[in-house]
Amino acid sequence: GAGVSQSPSNKVTEKGKDVELRCDPISGHTALYWYRQSLGQGLEFLIYFQGNSAPDKSGLPSDRFSAERTGGSVSTLTIQRTQQEDSAVYLCASSWAAGTGETQYFGPGTRLLVL
Amino acid sequence: EDQVTQSPEALRLQEGESSSLNCSYTVSGLRGLFWYRQDPGKGPEFLFTLYSAGEEKEKERLKATLTKKESFLHITAPKPEDSATYLCAVQAEGSGNTGKLIFGQGTTLQVKP
C-alpha cells in the first residue's frame, strides 16, 4: 500500500518568508509525528497528533512553528518568518496508535533551505 | 534524561567482513527500541522493533539483539548495497501517550566491494 507522502520534496525560501510543509500519512494510521533532521544532528521530535486529541507541541523550537491536522488525516507544518537555522530536513511519520511501542513509518522528507 | 548513543559514528567494511553496530540507551522505562536504515536523501526505512531484553530479530544479513542497556545490529557478510546510515531510536515510558522517538546520531556504514 501507499506509504507516508510529503510535499514539497525540496523548498528554497528567503529569510523572513513563511513556508508550509504537507504530510499525508498512511491510511488508517491515527498517530502522526513531525521530526526535524539538521545537518550533523540526529532526528528531533517536533509535534505529535493522535486522533482528535490536543497535539503534543513540546518539541516545537519556537512560536514561529505551528502545525495542524485536518480531518484526522493530512497535516501541515507551518514555519513563519523563516530563519537560516530552520534549514533542515523535515520528516513526517505515522503509526497505527501511539505510546504503545507501535512502529512509526517515515515519509521521504522535505528538504528546506533558507537563504 | 532519556538518551541514546550510537557507536561507532562511521564504519568501513570490506564486502563479506561481518561486524556489529552498538546502540546504548538510558530511559526511565523502555516501550520499544527501533532500528531504521536511512539512505542519502531519503527518509528512514524501518528495520526492526525490539521490546524486551533477550529478544532477537533477523532479516537477511541483519540481526538485532537487545539487552537492558544496549542493542546491537549485527551485519553478517555485508554487501555494498548495505551501505547506509543506521539509526537507533527508543520510545520511553516517560514520553506519556505520545510515543515520540528519541534517536541516536546514527552509524554511517560503507561496504566496499
Residue B95 has pLDDT above 90, yes or no: no
User: Are A90 and A78 spatial neighbours (Cβ–Cβ below 8 Å)?
Assistant: no
- How many percent of chain B have pLDDT more than 90? 88
CATH entry, A16-95, from 2.60.40.10, 3.40.50.1240, 2.40.50.100, 3.30.1130.10: 2.60.40.10
pLDDT at B28: 84
Q: How many helices (H) and strands (E) does chain A have?
A: 0, 10
Average pLDDT, chain B: 95
Using CA atoms, how far residue B109 sits from A22, A79, B8, B18, B69, in Å, is 31, 33, 9, 12, 23
CB-CB: which of A42, A91, A101 is closest to B49?
Answer: A101
Cβ neighbors of A71 (< 8 A, separation 6 or more) are: none
Q: Is the pLDDT of residue B96 over 70?
A: no
Boundaries of domain holding B97: 3-112
Q: Which residues of A29-44 are buried (b: 16+ CB within 10 A; e: fewer)?
A: bbbbbbbbbeeeebbb
Report pLDDT digits (tens) over B13-42: 999 999 999 999 998 889 999 999 999 999
Instruction: Please give the sequence-ordered ranges of beta strands (E in DSSP) within A38-103, or none if there are none.
Output: 43-50, 65-69, 75-79, 88-95
CATH number at residue B91: 2.60.40.10
Any CB–CB contact under 8 A between A100 and chain B? yes
CA dist., res. A38 & res. B56, Å (int)? 31
**pLDDT above 90 for B97:** no
The C-alpha cell of B61 is what? 544479513
Cα–Cα nearest to B71, from B91, B93, B56: B56
Residues of chain A numbered 60-99 and touching chain B (CB < 8 Å) = 91, 95, 97-99
pLDDT band at B94 (very low <50, low <70, confident <90, very high): low
Q: Do B43 and A35 touch (CB under 8 A)?
A: no
Distance from CA of A63 to the nearest CA of B (A): 20
The pLDDT score that the predictor gives to residue A1 is 58
Q: Do B100 and A43 touch (CB under 8 A)?
A: no
SS3 state at B39: coil
Instruction: State pLDDT tens for residues B43-70.
Output: 999 999 999 999 999 999 999 999 999 9
Determine the pLDDT at residue A66: 96
Q: Please give the pLDDT value at position B83.
A: 98
Q: How far is Cα B5 from Cα A62, in angstroms, rounded to an integer?
A: 26
- Point out the residues of chain A with pLDDT beneath 50: none
Any chain A CB within 8 A of the CB of B32? yes
Q: How many domains does chain B have?
A: 1
* Burial environment of residue A64 by CB neighbours within 10 A (0 to 12, 13 to 18, 19 or more): middle
Angstrom distance (rounded) from CA A6 to CA A23: 5
